[in-house]
Structure formats: structure tokens, C-alpha cells
Amino acid sequence: MRVQILGAGCAKCKQLLANAEQAVAGLDPPVEIEKVEGIREIMKFRVLATPALAVDGVVKAAGRVLNHDEIRRLLQNG
């Protein structure tokens, strides 16, 4: 499983990344986290607002910072 954080590096993007790292800590099998910062790469996901979070290439949330519990629920529920 791969979690992608989409954002150019603003404070909210950094917070979402930190929350995602906390959410996946200790999960088995390990979850890969990728930071996507390039605007062209972000545009490929067709999001209108950042930060955004994608799981295995599918956008699950955009325009807000999910807390670690919300992220963990997304990962458990697919």
C-alpha cells in the first residue's frame, strides 16, 4: 500500500504528511509514504485543492488536513 501526500510544501501539507506518518507507524505490512510536490504531478491527480491524500493512486481527501485517526480509518476501509 502506498500513501501519497499531494502539496507544494505549505504548512498544511507538512501537517498532513506528519499525520500520515503517525497513522501508518507500526502497521503491518509497512505502508510507503510518498510526498508529491511537483505541480505537474499533482495535476495528474485532478485535485482542485491541496493538501490532498491519495491511497494507491486514488484521491481520498482534498483541501483539508486529515488527522491520524481519519487517515488510519481510510487505510483500514480501503
Measure the CA–CA gap between 33 and 25, rounded to whole angstroms: 11
Q: Is the pLDDT of residue 78 over 80?
A: no
Which of 1, 10, 25, 27 is catalytic? The answer is 10
Q: Could you tell me which residues are beta bridge partners of residue 59?
A: 54
Q: Catalytic residue at 55? A: no
- Full residue range of the structural domain in which residue 29 is found: 2-77
How many structural domains does the chain have?
1
Which of 6, 13, 24, 36 is catalytic? The answer is 13
Cell 507500526, located at residue = 26
Q: Catalytic residue at 13? A: yes
Q: Output the domain CATH number for residue 65.
A: 3.40.30.10
Q: Is the pLDDT of residue 77 over 70?
A: yes
Predicted TM-score of the model (pTM): 0.92
pLDDT in tens, 44-56: 999 999 999 999 9
* Three-class secondary structure assignment of 36-76: ECCHHHHHCCCCCCCCEEEECCEEEEECCCCCHHHHHHHHH
